[in-house]
Amino acid sequence: MISDPPELFAPDRGVPLGSWIKMTGSESVEIAACAGFDFIVIDLEHSMLSMSDAYRHIVVAAGQGMAPLVRVPSHDHGIVQRVLDAGATGVLFPHVDTVGQAEAVVRMVRFPGAGTRGSGGTSRAGGWGLRSRADYLRFGNEKALCVPQLESEESLRNASGILAVEGVDAVLVGAADLALSMGVPAGDPRHTELVVSGLDAAKAAGLPCGTAVGSALAASRAIEQGFGFVVAANDTTLLAKAATTLVQQVRGVPA
């Protein structure tokens, strides 16, 4: 029997640490598990990953005890339904700017009564038809995570309203896209103020607020700042940096 995917915000767990997965080979997922990451985010927005790739990554991650999240490329009901029926722990939705958009993405994750997700009980999430209908519906309505990404000035100004939408389980502040949309570098005082406002809104709502960073130092600082989950680096850049460092060291090229 297929069990529920691992929980991300388990009470006995510290701040969950994850990484983006952008490569097609499931070796990346298994290596992330061996390294000790709590979760992965399978990135369908900024990679060439297919639905088949995402499915394999979900299966491997869950089998290794990691929570598999999927960042979808858009607010597409069909894609959301497929990744949840593949057994994803939850979905990250890019560019959620308004309360109305937050309500719409929540409905995609929940079954009728609370949403518009169709029944796929013969899928992996339904144990190939062996799970009871009640158990399959229970996970979708009570456990599957809906995580809007706040990555524009408009979204951060609407953060409190978005976080108040029933069914929103957490948010992730997309600091890079926020800076891009503002036309300022990351760390600009106006940018920092908006990021902190999103974190404060999540704390007031009693929900986790995540962030994405590129280094161990930045991850540690984010945890100290109070972020509730952190996505650190990604498989492609980790490989690229390690390979570049090795070649430079062998050839005596200054880093």
The one catalytic residue among 46, 57, 77, 95: 46
**CB 108, CB 81: distance < 8 Å:** yes
Helix axes 99-109, 77-85, angle to 10 degrees: 40
Q: Which of 124, 96, 94, 90 is nearest to 110 (CA)?
A: 90
Cα-flanking dihedrals φ and ψ of residue 237, to 5°?
Answer: -70, -35
Is 46 part of the annotated catalytic residue set? Answer: yes
Indicate the Cα dihedral angle 155, 236, 109, 138, nearest 10°. Answer: -130
Q: Quick one: tokens of 90?
A: 């939850």
Using CA of residue 6, residue 9, residue 14, residue 19, what is the dihedral sign? Answer: positive
Buried b (16+ CB within 10 A) or exposed e, 201-223: bbeebebbbbbbbeeeeebeebb
178: Cβ contacts below 8 Å, ≥ 6 apart = 150, 151, 152, 153, 156, 191, 194, 195
Catalytic residues: 46
